[in-house]
Amino acid sequence: MPVKQEPNIYEELRERLRSARHVFALTGAGVSAESGVPTFRGGGDTTVWKGMPFDVISSAGMLARDLPAVWEWFDYRRGVLGHCQPNAAHTTLARWQDSFPRFTLVTQNVDGLHAAAGSRDVLELHGNAWRARCLGCGWREDVRHLDADERPPVCRACGEAMRPDVVLFGEMLPAGVFEEAAMRASECDLCFVVGTSAIVYPAAALPAEARRAGAYLVEVNPEPTPLSEICDMTIRGLAGEILPRLEF
Protein backbone atom coordinates (compact mmCIF):
# COMPACT_ATOMS: atom_id res chain seq x y z
CA MET A 1 0.00 0.00 0.00
CA PRO A 2 1.46 3.42 -0.84
CA VAL A 3 2.48 5.49 2.18
CA LYS A 4 0.33 8.59 2.52
CA GLN A 5 2.42 11.72 2.21
CA GLU A 6 1.89 14.39 4.86
CA PRO A 7 0.24 17.05 2.70
CA ASN A 8 -2.25 14.43 1.50
CA ILE A 9 -3.28 13.73 5.06
CA TYR A 10 -4.07 17.38 5.67
CA GLU A 11 -5.89 17.77 2.37
CA GLU A 12 -7.91 14.63 3.06
CA LEU A 13 -8.88 15.94 6.48
CA ARG A 14 -9.81 19.38 5.17
CA GLU A 15 -12.05 17.64 2.67
CA ARG A 16 -13.70 15.65 5.45
CA LEU A 17 -14.14 18.83 7.48
CA ARG A 18 -15.77 20.60 4.55
CA SER A 19 -18.43 17.89 4.24
CA ALA A 20 -18.88 17.05 7.95
CA ARG A 21 -22.35 17.43 9.47
CA HIS A 22 -21.43 16.99 13.13
CA VAL A 23 -17.86 17.35 14.35
CA PHE A 24 -17.12 16.11 17.86
CA ALA A 25 -13.85 16.87 19.69
CA LEU A 26 -12.59 15.35 22.93
CA THR A 27 -9.66 17.16 24.50
CA GLY A 28 -7.29 16.40 27.36
CA ALA A 29 -4.39 18.03 29.14
CA GLY A 30 -2.24 17.98 25.97
CA VAL A 31 -4.41 20.63 24.31
CA SER A 32 -3.30 23.05 27.02
CA ALA A 33 0.34 21.94 27.15
CA GLU A 34 1.46 24.66 24.74
CA SER A 35 -0.27 27.21 26.97
CA GLY A 36 2.08 26.18 29.78
CA VAL A 37 -0.34 23.96 31.70
CA PRO A 38 1.50 20.84 32.89
CA THR A 39 -0.03 17.55 31.69
CA PHE A 40 -0.61 14.73 34.16
CA ARG A 41 1.14 11.87 32.38
CA GLY A 42 2.50 13.16 29.11
CA GLY A 43 6.20 12.40 28.63
CA GLY A 44 6.08 9.65 31.24
CA ASP A 45 6.40 11.87 34.31
CA THR A 46 3.84 11.75 37.05
CA THR A 47 3.03 15.09 38.59
CA VAL A 48 4.01 15.07 42.24
CA TRP A 49 3.13 17.89 44.60
CA LYS A 50 4.58 18.09 48.13
CA GLY A 51 5.58 14.45 47.82
CA MET A 52 2.10 13.32 46.80
CA PRO A 53 1.22 11.96 43.35
CA PHE A 54 -1.59 13.99 41.76
CA ASP A 55 -4.03 11.08 41.99
CA VAL A 56 -3.57 11.03 45.78
CA ILE A 57 -3.94 14.76 46.43
CA SER A 58 -6.77 14.92 43.82
CA SER A 59 -8.79 12.14 45.40
CA ALA A 60 -12.10 11.69 47.20
CA GLY A 61 -10.16 10.16 50.11
CA MET A 62 -8.02 13.28 50.49
CA LEU A 63 -11.12 15.48 50.36
CA ALA A 64 -12.61 13.50 53.26
CA ARG A 65 -9.34 13.54 55.24
CA ASP A 66 -8.00 17.00 54.56
CA LEU A 67 -10.20 19.49 52.68
CA PRO A 68 -7.80 22.44 53.27
CA ALA A 69 -4.97 20.42 51.62
CA VAL A 70 -7.14 19.85 48.54
CA TRP A 71 -7.84 23.60 48.45
CA GLU A 72 -4.12 24.30 48.78
CA TRP A 73 -3.43 22.04 45.76
CA PHE A 74 -6.10 23.68 43.62
CA ASP A 75 -5.00 27.18 44.76
CA TYR A 76 -1.54 26.19 43.56
CA ARG A 77 -2.90 24.90 40.24
CA ARG A 78 -4.97 28.04 39.70
CA GLY A 79 -1.86 30.06 40.47
CA VAL A 80 -0.21 28.33 37.50
CA LEU A 81 -3.33 28.63 35.30
CA GLY A 82 -3.61 32.34 36.04
CA HIS A 83 -0.56 32.90 33.84
CA CYS A 84 -1.78 30.75 30.95
CA GLN A 85 -3.50 31.94 27.78
CA PRO A 86 -5.38 29.86 25.22
CA ASN A 87 -3.17 28.60 22.38
CA ALA A 88 -3.82 28.06 18.68
CA ALA A 89 -5.49 24.69 19.34
CA HIS A 90 -8.07 26.29 21.65
CA THR A 91 -8.75 29.13 19.21
CA THR A 92 -9.10 26.76 16.24
CA LEU A 93 -11.63 24.67 18.15
CA ALA A 94 -13.47 27.85 19.15
CA ARG A 95 -13.74 28.83 15.47
CA TRP A 96 -15.01 25.38 14.56
CA GLN A 97 -18.12 25.79 16.73
CA ASP A 98 -19.69 27.96 14.00
CA SER A 99 -18.27 26.07 11.02
CA PHE A 100 -20.49 22.98 10.92
CA PRO A 101 -24.20 22.25 11.18
CA ARG A 102 -23.35 20.71 14.60
CA PHE A 103 -20.24 20.89 16.75
CA THR A 104 -19.59 19.37 20.15
CA LEU A 105 -16.60 20.09 22.35
CA VAL A 106 -15.99 17.80 25.33
CA THR A 107 -13.02 18.33 27.60
CA GLN A 108 -11.43 16.56 30.53
CA ASN A 109 -9.60 19.75 31.42
CA VAL A 110 -10.55 21.89 34.39
CA ASP A 111 -8.51 24.91 33.28
CA GLY A 112 -11.28 26.90 31.56
CA LEU A 113 -9.05 27.67 28.55
CA HIS A 114 -11.60 26.53 25.95
CA ALA A 115 -14.10 29.07 27.26
CA ALA A 116 -11.34 31.68 27.48
CA ALA A 117 -10.73 31.09 23.75
CA GLY A 118 -14.42 31.72 23.03
CA SER A 119 -15.87 28.19 23.00
CA ARG A 120 -19.47 28.04 24.17
CA ASP A 121 -21.36 25.17 25.81
CA VAL A 122 -18.22 23.12 26.48
CA LEU A 123 -19.06 19.81 28.15
CA GLU A 124 -16.63 19.77 31.06
CA LEU A 125 -16.46 16.15 32.17
CA HIS A 126 -14.19 16.82 35.16
CA GLY A 127 -15.57 20.17 36.31
CA ASN A 128 -13.76 23.48 36.48
CA ALA A 129 -10.94 24.56 38.80
CA TRP A 130 -12.24 28.13 38.81
CA ARG A 131 -15.50 27.09 40.49
CA ALA A 132 -16.31 26.13 44.09
CA ARG A 133 -19.27 24.00 45.16
CA CYS A 134 -20.95 23.85 48.56
CA LEU A 135 -20.73 20.48 50.29
CA GLY A 136 -24.07 21.19 51.96
CA CYS A 137 -26.48 22.72 49.45
CA GLY A 138 -24.56 22.41 46.18
CA TRP A 139 -24.37 26.18 45.56
CA ARG A 140 -21.70 27.02 42.99
CA GLU A 141 -19.56 30.13 42.94
CA ASP A 142 -16.60 31.51 41.00
CA VAL A 143 -13.57 30.98 43.25
CA ARG A 144 -12.38 34.49 42.39
CA HIS A 145 -15.44 35.87 44.21
CA LEU A 146 -14.51 34.08 47.44
CA ASP A 147 -12.22 35.20 50.25
CA ALA A 148 -8.79 33.77 49.30
CA ASP A 149 -7.78 33.63 52.98
CA GLU A 150 -10.69 31.42 54.00
CA ARG A 151 -9.87 27.76 53.37
CA PRO A 152 -12.19 26.03 53.07
CA PRO A 153 -14.44 28.86 51.95
CA VAL A 154 -17.87 29.08 53.56
CA CYS A 155 -21.01 28.95 51.42
CA ARG A 156 -22.87 32.26 51.36
CA ALA A 157 -26.16 30.42 50.86
CA CYS A 158 -26.05 27.97 53.79
CA GLY A 159 -22.81 28.43 55.73
CA GLU A 160 -21.38 24.97 54.98
CA ALA A 161 -17.83 24.40 53.72
CA MET A 162 -17.18 24.59 49.98
CA ARG A 163 -14.92 22.40 47.82
CA PRO A 164 -13.35 22.81 44.38
CA ASP A 165 -16.01 21.96 41.76
CA VAL A 166 -13.90 19.33 40.06
CA VAL A 167 -14.13 15.57 39.75
CA LEU A 168 -11.61 13.86 42.02
CA PHE A 169 -10.30 10.32 41.70
CA GLY A 170 -12.88 7.99 43.19
CA GLU A 171 -15.79 10.31 42.38
CA MET A 172 -18.60 10.13 39.86
CA LEU A 173 -18.84 12.56 36.96
CA PRO A 174 -21.39 15.37 37.31
CA ALA A 175 -24.90 14.02 36.67
CA GLY A 176 -25.88 14.00 33.03
CA VAL A 177 -22.72 15.44 31.48
CA PHE A 178 -21.20 12.13 30.39
CA GLU A 179 -24.55 10.85 29.12
CA GLU A 180 -24.94 14.02 27.03
CA ALA A 181 -21.38 13.64 25.69
CA ALA A 182 -21.94 9.96 24.86
CA MET A 183 -25.17 10.74 23.03
CA ARG A 184 -23.45 13.42 20.96
CA ALA A 185 -20.48 11.11 20.28
CA SER A 186 -22.89 8.55 18.86
CA GLU A 187 -24.36 11.20 16.56
CA CYS A 188 -21.18 12.68 15.06
CA ASP A 189 -19.58 11.84 11.72
CA LEU A 190 -16.09 13.19 12.40
CA CYS A 191 -14.43 12.79 15.80
CA PHE A 192 -11.16 14.39 16.95
CA VAL A 193 -9.28 13.16 20.01
CA VAL A 194 -6.75 15.79 20.97
CA GLY A 195 -4.08 15.67 23.67
CA THR A 196 -5.38 12.92 25.90
CA SER A 197 -3.61 9.79 27.07
CA ALA A 198 -7.05 8.14 26.78
CA ILE A 199 -6.68 6.00 29.86
CA VAL A 200 -9.11 7.70 32.25
CA TYR A 201 -12.64 6.32 31.96
CA PRO A 202 -15.38 7.01 31.20
CA ALA A 203 -14.00 9.90 29.08
CA ALA A 204 -11.81 7.53 27.09
CA ALA A 205 -14.89 5.55 26.01
CA LEU A 206 -16.30 8.47 23.98
CA PRO A 207 -14.14 8.08 20.85
CA ALA A 208 -14.95 4.36 20.73
CA GLU A 209 -18.62 5.27 20.96
CA ALA A 210 -18.22 7.64 18.00
CA ARG A 211 -16.34 4.98 16.03
CA ARG A 212 -19.01 2.38 16.77
CA ALA A 213 -21.60 4.76 15.38
CA GLY A 214 -19.61 5.07 12.15
CA ALA A 215 -17.67 8.30 12.68
CA TYR A 216 -14.22 8.86 11.18
CA LEU A 217 -11.78 9.03 14.11
CA VAL A 218 -8.70 11.28 14.15
CA GLU A 219 -6.13 11.44 16.94
CA VAL A 220 -3.79 14.40 17.42
CA ASN A 221 -1.04 13.57 19.90
CA PRO A 222 2.77 13.43 19.76
CA GLU A 223 2.63 10.01 21.46
CA PRO A 224 0.70 6.83 20.70
CA THR A 225 -2.16 6.02 23.08
CA PRO A 226 -4.41 3.00 23.66
CA LEU A 227 -6.87 4.67 21.25
CA SER A 228 -4.41 4.96 18.39
CA GLU A 229 -5.20 1.46 17.17
CA ILE A 230 -8.87 2.15 16.54
CA CYS A 231 -8.26 5.57 14.94
CA ASP A 232 -8.71 6.01 11.19
CA MET A 233 -5.96 8.61 11.22
CA THR A 234 -3.32 9.47 13.81
CA ILE A 235 -1.36 12.69 13.50
CA ARG A 236 1.77 12.70 15.62
CA GLY A 237 2.33 16.30 16.55
CA LEU A 238 1.45 19.22 18.79
CA ALA A 239 -2.18 20.29 18.91
CA GLY A 240 -1.27 23.98 18.62
CA GLU A 241 0.58 23.30 15.38
CA ILE A 242 -1.66 20.64 13.82
CA LEU A 243 -5.16 22.04 14.35
CA PRO A 244 -4.50 25.42 12.69
CA ARG A 245 -3.19 23.51 9.64
CA LEU A 246 -6.62 21.98 9.26
CA GLU A 247 -8.38 25.29 8.64
CA PHE A 248 -10.50 24.67 5.58
Q: Which is nearer to ligand OAD, 136 or 222 (CB)?
A: 222
First to last CA, the chain: 27
Q: Residue 78 carries which side chain, given as an amino acid letter?
A: R
CB of 101 to ligand OAD, least distance (A): 27
Least distance in Å: CB of 184 to ligand OAD?
A: 18
Report the residue number, 26 or 155, with the smaller CB distance to ligand OAD.
Answer: 26
Question: Exactly one of 22, 90, 114, 126 is catalytic; which is it?
Answer: 126
Q: CB-wise, 42 or 207, nearer to ligand OAD?
A: 42
Q: Which lies closer to ligand OAD via its Cβ, residue 97 or residue 221?
A: 221
Least distance from C-beta 43 to ligand OAD, angstroms? 7
Q: Of the candidates 173, 236, 196, which has an alpha carbon nearest to the alpha carbon of residue 39?
A: 196
The gap from C-alpha 118 to its chain's centroid, in whole angstroms, comes to 15
Q: Which residue's Cβ lies closest to ligand OAD?
A: 30
Write down the least CB distance from residue 126 to ligand OAD, Å. 4
CB of 79 to ligand OAD, least distance (A): 17
Minimum CB distance to ligand OAD smaller for 94 or for 239:
239
Contacts with ligand OAD, residue ranges (CB under 6 A): 28-30, 33-34, 39-42, 58, 108, 126, 167, 195-197, 200, 220-223, 225, 238-239
90 is catalytic: no
Supply the residues annotated as catalytic. Answer: 126
